[in-house]
């Protein structure tokens, strides 16, 4: 993989970022600890130098797996780490807090979990409407001045919220959900890219739905990410449309000897306004399969073919 520049940060990152929500464990399929750590090692070995995580990913478990793996392999200096603040996973619930004292505490916890002396990119996970942005981002400004974090960004913020945050500190990175099945943030990503803000697209496989693994509506536990976070996509009326779209994607996958996930990932990463796609994987084989998908690209005619199908089926 050829690295790209993450907006104006000066960071050279892989166009695929390893997502670690699943590696954290909560709300996803369960794997042994050594398998999860091996997935992280495999990502670095495969050329992925950008890892995305958060303290909310199973109460810091994802961060701890990353920290332990990078320490054991001696690869901390080879990777860029993005973690988050302002959102914690407590007793099975996500709790937002943009209060300065919480931002400071989360940063210290993340540094300890990740076994590092600095965080490359710190993102506010979700906006907290109960705390003035001047306080939340003022705390991040202090942490940056202390050298504990290098770059500041936001996740799941609107354009208006980003503009408000910029009154206190430069917002250098934005992370938003974006996939063939969810294009709600497309205009915001375009705007951010035009502003020189680094763009990270998460959910490029829509919780796994774009892999073709799921072919019938199923019932998931309330805490399962396919219910709590991606629920509307895994249920009717959207699910039937998703299946029709997967059928439209299959001929393109067949032409390239690829799977549906590769088509979906290439569609997202070939957008000029997307710097890197966050792709989750909990085991080595999945990491290697994802990286393999970046060895080819969709032709312009195929992008047009997909666009026509999306307009017909999903709109």
Range 132-156 burial, b when 16+ CB lie within 10 A, else e: ebeebbebbbbbbeeebbbbbbbbb
Instruction: Give residues with Cβ within 8 angstroms of 74, minimum separation 6.
Output: none
Given the residues 57, 178, 202, 214, the one annotated as active site: 57
**Residue 305: Cβ-neighbour burial (10 angstroms; 0-12, 13-18, 19+):** middle
Give 255's Cβ-side CA count (13 Å radius). 12
Integer Cα distance of 156 and 203 in angstroms: 12
Whether 136 and 166 have beta carbons less than 8 Å apart is answered as no
Nearest to 37, CA basis, from 24, 46, 50: 24
Answer yes or no: 214 catalytic.
Answer: no
Integer Cα distance of 41 and 23 in angstroms: 12
Integer Cα distance of 213 and 41 in angstroms: 25
Instruction: Name the residues annotated as catalytic.
Output: 57
């Amino acid at each position: 993989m050829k690295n790209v520049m993450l907006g104006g940060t000066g960071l050279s990152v892989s166009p695929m970022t390893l997502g670690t929500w699943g590696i954290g464990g909560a709300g996803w399929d369960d794997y042994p600890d050594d398998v999860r750590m091996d997935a992280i090692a495999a990502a670095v070995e495969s050329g992925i130098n950008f890892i995305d995580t958060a303290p909310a990913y199973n109460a810091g478990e994802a961060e701890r797996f990353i920290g332990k793996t990078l320490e054991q392999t001696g690869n901390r200096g080879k990777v860029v780490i993005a973690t988050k603040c302002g959102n914690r996973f407590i007793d099975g619930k996500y709790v937002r807090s943009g209060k300065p004292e919480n931002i400071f505490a989360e940063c210290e916890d993340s540094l300890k979990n990740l076994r590092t002396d600095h965080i490359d990119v710190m993102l506010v996970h979700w906006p907290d409407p109960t705390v003035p942005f001047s306080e939340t981002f003022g705390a991040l400004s202090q942490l940056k001045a202390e050298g504990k974090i290098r770059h500041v960004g936001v996740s799941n913020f609107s354009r208006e919220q980003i503009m408000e945050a910029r009154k206190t500190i430069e917002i250098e990175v934005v992370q938003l959900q974006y996939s063939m099945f969810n294009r709600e943030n497309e205009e915001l990503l375009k705007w951010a890219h035009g502003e020189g803000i680094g763009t990270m697209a998460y959910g490029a496989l829509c919780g796994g739905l774009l892999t073709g693994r799921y072919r019938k509506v199923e019932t998931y536990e309330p805490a399962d990410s396919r219910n709590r976070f991606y629920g509307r996509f895994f249920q009717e009326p959207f699910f039937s449309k998703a299946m029709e779209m997967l059928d439209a994607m299959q001929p393109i996958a067949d032409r390239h000897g690829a799977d549906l996930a590769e088509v979906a990932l290439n569609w997202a990463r070939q957008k000029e306004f997307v710097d890197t796609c966050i792709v989750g994987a909990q085991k080595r084989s999945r990491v290697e399969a994802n990286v393999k998908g970046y060895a080819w690209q969709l032709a312009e005619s195929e992008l047009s073919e997909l666009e026509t199908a999306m307009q017909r089926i999903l709109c």
